[in-house]
Amino acid sequence: MTHVAERGDGGRGGRRVVVTGYGAVTPLGLGVRATWTAMLAGRSGIDTVDTIDVTGLGVRIGGQVRGFTPGRYMPAPVSRRADPCAQYALAAAVEACDHAGLVVDDRLAPRVAVIIGSGYGPVGSIYRAANTLRDKGPRGIGPFTQVTTAMDSAACEISMRFGTQGPSRAQSTACASGADAVGAAMRMISGGEADVVLAGGADACVTAVDLAGSGNARALSRRNDDPAAASRPFDAHRDGFVMSEGAAVLVLEAAEVAERRGATALAELAGYGASSDAHHWTAPHPQGRGACLAVEAALRDAGITGADVDYVNAHGTGTPLNDVTETAVLRTVLGDRITRIPVSSTKSMTGHMIGAAGAVELVASILVLRTGDVPPTINCDDPIAPDINFVPHRAQHHDRVRIALSNSFGFGGHNAALVIRAV
């Protein structure tokens, strides 16, 4: 392998980027350990929605965060003003920084950035504000409403909590938001704009409006009577994705910065690619044109080919169109390698966390590299491609997993792919 490929920068000449910490809040558990344990056990986080009134909705199931206590992660004034979307992101960031042993002091602060992706943003707070305006008039609207209902509220809360003084911003590319946020952070570090970036994604869109809208678009599973079996990526009897909520944040650092402060590199973020389908609001391009471009760009960025990939964490939503298209894309880009490696969709257990999905799935992919344990695709009873190992039902152990690919494809034709390498 060439020196360029060993550097993992695809010839960009920039700095190597490593992951030194991560945190998560998901329907499977609070924290990465709880989430990972549930994934390996093949446990579903999907249930009947009980946090909102689902009367009259065609879809009444979702992946809800359970047992979340904001006071564990933030003071009361923050939890009172912050939407659950921002609360989950902040909680994940707290875990990630603790995991990385990151202390943002006055010297480091100007070189630390925050990028948080979200497909929907703080929609619960937006809906509540609209209802308050209707019911109580203008005087009922709080003075922080305009900022806490903004897409960048999660990034701002994290920046204020840790005292970061580098750029802080939101990333919104539908279901690719979390992956694109991580990719943008990688570019920022590689190009020298920052030394450390807290990057990830968050969404809290299990709301009546969003269940109704996506349900009317016929994008959601309607297995209301069997929630645990509703999310079934790559299964012949899939009928849509399951709306879920959650967050994940990763600490990304320039390799030399991590080494200098004695941090443990968990994986190298080696490649990132993004593209647009320019085709349809909700349907992928039938030949996967944009998705192919994103995956190919990520592999090229990492200085590798499809033959080098050892594991794929698929976008795998369980919608009729995505799973067929993604399978075709993987065949095109990876060739016959796709029949010799594990390909799993953790959305079968978490549901689709929209902007958080790509970040949570990247964390899972890192754990696959570090342990060799591959989480399953549950509910994959009748796989659409029998020659591909979708890791059906039960986790598998694979001895040599050095490079992983994580895909995120979103409404509006947004596509993002990330490549990570074991260290």
pLDDT band of 282, cuts 50, 70, 90: confident
127-150: per-residue pLDDT in tens?
999 999 999 999 999 998 999 999
According to DSSP, the β-strands at 29-30 and 46-48 are unpaired
Looking at domain 272-421, which CATH architecture does it have?
3-Layer(aba) Sandwich (3.40)
pLDDT more than 70, % of the chain: 97
Tell me the DSSP string of 128-143.
HHHHHHHHH-GGGS-T
The pLDDT value recorded for residue 337 is 98
The pLDDT value recorded for residue 2 is 29
Dist CA 358 CA 231 (whole Å): 17
CATH assignment, 18-261: 3.40.47.10
The pLDDT value recorded for residue 280 is 81
Q: Among all chains, which residue has been given the structure tokens 């796709």?
A: 338
153-172: per-residue pLDDT in tens?
999 999 999 999 999 999 99
pLDDT more than 90, % of the chain: 92
The pLDDT value recorded for residue 11 is 45
pLDDT (average), residues 184-211: 97
Does residue 12 register a pLDDT over 70?
no
Does residue 108 register a pLDDT over 70?
yes
Dist CA 14 CA 187 (whole Å): 9
* Six-digit token string for 417: 């792919």
Looking at every residue in the chain, the average pLDDT score rounds to: 95
pLDDT (average), residues 96-105: 98
Does residue 120 register a pLDDT over 80?
yes
> What is the crossing angle of helices 177-190 and 357-371, to 10°?
70
Q: Cβ-count burial of 211 within 10 angstroms (0-12 exposed, 13-18 middle, 19+ buried)?
A: buried
The pLDDT value recorded for residue 9 is 54
Does residue 184 register a pLDDT over 70?
yes
Torsion on CA atoms 133, 134, 138, 141, rounded to nearest 10: -20
The pLDDT value recorded for residue 287 is 81
Dist CA 317 CA 372 (whole Å): 24
Specify the length of the chain in residues: 423
Is the fold of 18-261 the same as that of 272-421?
A: yes
Q: Cβ-count burial of 225 within 10 angstroms (0-12 exposed, 13-18 middle, 19+ buried)?
A: exposed
The pLDDT value recorded for residue 3 is 30
For 243-346, strand residue ranges (E) read: 246-254, 267-276, 311-313, 343-344
Best CA proximity match to 70, nearest among 52, 83, 58, 51? 83
Tell me the DSSP string of 201-223.
EEE---SHHHHHHHHHTT-B---
Q: Where do the domains of the chain lie? A: 18-261, 272-421
Q: Active-site residues: which are they?
A: 175
